Amino acid sequence: MDSDAKLQKINNDPKKFKIGTMLALIEHGIIIALAIILFIAFSPYNIILAVVWTISRITEGLIDVYNEKNYWGLLNIARQYSVSSGAEKNALIELCRSILKTKNSRFAFAQILFSVGTLSYSILFVTYGVVPEIIGWFGIIASILYGLGNGIIFIKPHKTMQIFHVGLLILIFGIILGGRYYFLQ
């Protein structure tokens, strides 16, 4: 979506923008809490892997919270945009584009940290037999590919859509991992 359309969309439904941003902040808080819970649950197996994923996932969550703080600024920019014209309108479009570009770059970096955290606990899963080995190995492969894909996106942001499918593997891993415990309890 281009910056002009994004600002119009935010201005047309600021409540939706606020709710979406607040839900994202809650999600990032849950990521941080999950990292701590996983540390408590699995650190007795391997403290080094536990520290790696905890630091990676908490840093990921904090980056995403910081991103949302800046993203929230689009609300005021959208209001100004709706009553501006000419050079001022163009300047606001450029400011929006800059915020979105920075947000996407930081998000890609945060996702690299996500993959490092996922790799760490997937290694633990395989090494200590916490889950069936096939699930752990799938997590290792998915996290490596996801990390590499986001590394490419971080370096070359225009490749985002070409690498999108790599994220499906990490999603499938999460569903398998979560589903296994949900249905076996």
> What's the full length of the chain, in residues?
185
> Tens-digit pLDDT profile for the chain (185 aa)?
588 888 899 999 999 999 999 999 999 999 999 999 999 999 999 999 999 999 999 999 999 999 999 899 999 999 998 888 889 988 999 999 999 999 989 999 999 999 999 999 999 999 999 889 999 999 999 999 999 988 988 888 776 666 667 788 999 998 998 887 666 65
**Residue 35 · residue 116 · CB < 8 Å:** no
CA distance 59 to 33: 12
Q: Supply the pLDDT for residue 66.
A: 94
